[in-house]
Amino acid sequence: MKVLIRNLARTTTEADVLALFQVHGTVQSCSLVIDEHNGKSKGFGFVEMPKQGDAKAAIKTLNGTTVDGNIIRVKKAEVK
């Protein structure tokens, strides 16, 4: 399941996000969206978890928590 994480602090790293989600299960991939002009995070990213149950538990637990001073929003990513 692909999970969208929004409202991340610009200082939050992929390693930070990975650590948050690994508590809930196996993480297949983790990536932050980076601004190509300045090389900094745009404040959101994606995590893929192979087990849907693990992903749902992570969403339920992490949505609305504070990370690096920001209250993050976590939800299932929309398929485009």
Amino acid at 18: L
Q: What is the pLDDT of residue 72?
A: 98
Dump pLDDT digits (tens) for 46-65: 999 999 999 999 999 999 99
pLDDT for residue 74: 98
Tokens of 23: 């508590």
pLDDT of res. 79: 78
Amino acid 80: pLDDT: 73
All residue ranges of the chain with pLDDT < 70 are: none
pLDDT at position 29, please?
Answer: 97
For the chain, domains (ranges, CATH) are 2-75 (3.30.70.330)
Of residues 39, 36, 1, 31, the one with CA closest to residue 13: 31
